Amino acid sequence: MSTPEGPRRVRVTSPRTSAARRPIIPTGTREIDEQTRLGEIYMLSLVQSQLRLTLAVIAGVLLVLGSIPLLFWLVPPTRTLSIFGLPLPWVILGILVYPVVYVAARVYVRNAERIEAEFTEFVGRK
């Protein structure tokens, strides 16, 4: 029957037969384009999950940053506390803030891209 050498000969035909086929593209984008209720819900869920992420980052950063002046205000010894020969306020505001902000940005971008990838998978690519 089948010979071990070479691929088997196949017949190539056009997929287009007499009946029109149903489009195989995902319909999520069409729901959005036509602004159906379903499309609105897709968009609402995308915007809301992005907004939740954004608000979480802002709340975290402002809570951390905002508590620093309050700490200096309420606990005066922290104003002059010395760490490695530098006063604590200078260590925090002059050095530590920057890597923390950078890490927050990295975490945000990773999560925002994950949300977008999931949305793209869900409603369908180009």
Partner 1 sequence: MSPAISLSAIGLVVAATIGIGLFGLRISRTTSDFYVASRAVSPRWNASAISGEYLSAASFLGVAGLVLVNGADMLWFSVGYTVGYLMLLVLVAAPLRRSGAYTLPDFAETRFESAAVRRICAGLVVGIGTLYLLPQLHGAGLAVQTVTGAPPQVGAMIVAVIVVINVAAGGMRSITFVQAFQYWLKLTALAAPIFVILLAWHQPTGVLDSLHGAAAAWAEPLSRAGGRDHPLYATYSLLLALCFGTMGLPHVLVRFYTNPDGRAARRTTVVVLALLGLFYLFPPMYAVLGRTFAPDLVASGGDTVVLELPGRVFPGTAGDLLGALVAAGAFAAFLSTSSGLTVAIAGVIDQDLLRSRLREWTGGDYIAVNSFRIAALIAMVVPYLAFTVTGSLSLADTVGLAFALAASTFCPLLVLGIWWRRMSTTGAAAGLVVGGIAASAAALIHVAGAPQGGWPRALVGQPAAWTMPLAFITVIVVSKLTPDRIPAGTARSMVRLHTPEAVDVDRGLPPR
With CA atoms as reference, report the closest residue to 55 among 108, 123, 8. Answer: 108
Return the ∠ at Cα 66 (arms to 60 and 71), rounded to 5°: 120
> Cα–Cα distance between 26 and 83 in angstroms, integer?
59
**Binding map of partner 1 across residues 4-43, x = CB under 8 A, - = no contact:** -------------------------x--xx-x----x--x
With beta carbons less than 8 A apart as the criterion, state whether 64 and 71 touch. no
The answer to whether 83 contacts partner 1 (rule: CB under 8 A) is: no
Which residue ranges make up the site for partner 1 (CB under 8 A)?
29, 32-33, 35, 40, 43, 46-47, 50-51, 53-54, 57-58, 61-62, 65-66, 69-70, 72-73, 79-80, 82, 85-87, 89-90, 93-95, 97-99, 101-102, 104-106, 108-109, 112-113, 116-117, 119-120, 123-126
